[in-house]
Amino acid sequence: MIREGDRVLLIDRRGKRYLVAVSNREFHTDLGVLDLGELIGKDHGTSISSHRGETFRVLKPDINDIIAKMQRGPQIVHPKDAGIIIAYAGISSGDTVVEAGAGSGALTLFLANVVGPQGRVISYEVREDHAEIARKNVEMAGFSDRVTIKLGNIYEGIEEDHADHIVLDLPQPEKVLPHAIEVLRPGGYFVAYTPCANQVHRFFQAFQEYRGEFYKPRVVEVLVREHEVKRECMRPKTTMLAHTGYITFLRKL
């Protein structure tokens, strides 16, 4: 049942999506004005009509809807990369994840969605303006109960005394290795997302000093190619989401 304050996804006849918070107020679109108060007490999947008679379907937003509509600041980690990070590291409900490089908070939200209300995501960010954007997006997503955005430099140390996983979106993730070995549980993953090959090379040069602390080093890149499906033909789309970053995985011994 939809309650006041809940966020819902409205979809019009063109497929355009609107993420809105339900309250006793009007919501203006180019297809007419909606009375959002009509949704209170209704079930997801219902419809609402504008004053012009245009119908909007009402759905419960998933994490991808929320991230697509959240406030943007710096470049985000894309869903294709976030999915691989979560899957390959085995991040699951109840885990404690230390993250750094919160940025706009997209990866933070993906992690928070997976660890659930019993888990924790502690995200370090050095820039106050980025941290503020991330905090607003965490609040908008309803994850304030499990996420802490911390203004600080993880290169200087990790304040937490335990982490199931460490996930970094930083220019020099190798600087976190000496701190990670102190707090990362045996079997937990150290994950570094870096856009450039020279960053990966520099990381593995530094990694040699800590090789005895980790095993199963792995570097992956995720490319996504969507296809057009028509009545008599299926073919790849002309453009694809190709390189966004390299993802390095280390597992703590």
For the annotated binding site, the residues are 104-107, 125, 130, 169
Beta strands, E only, 80-183:
96-100, 120-125, 147-151, 163-168
For residue 30, what are the contacts with CB-CB under 8 A and spacing of at least 6? none
- Of 188, 151, 156, 148, the C-alpha closest to 172 is 156
Q: Pairing relation of β-strands 26-29 and 17-21?
A: unpaired
**What distance in Å separates the CA atoms of residue 108 and residue 98, rounded to the nearest whole number?**
10
Specify binding-site residues for S-adenosyl-L-methionine. Answer: 104-107, 125, 130, 169
* CB contact at 8 A, 189 and 86: no
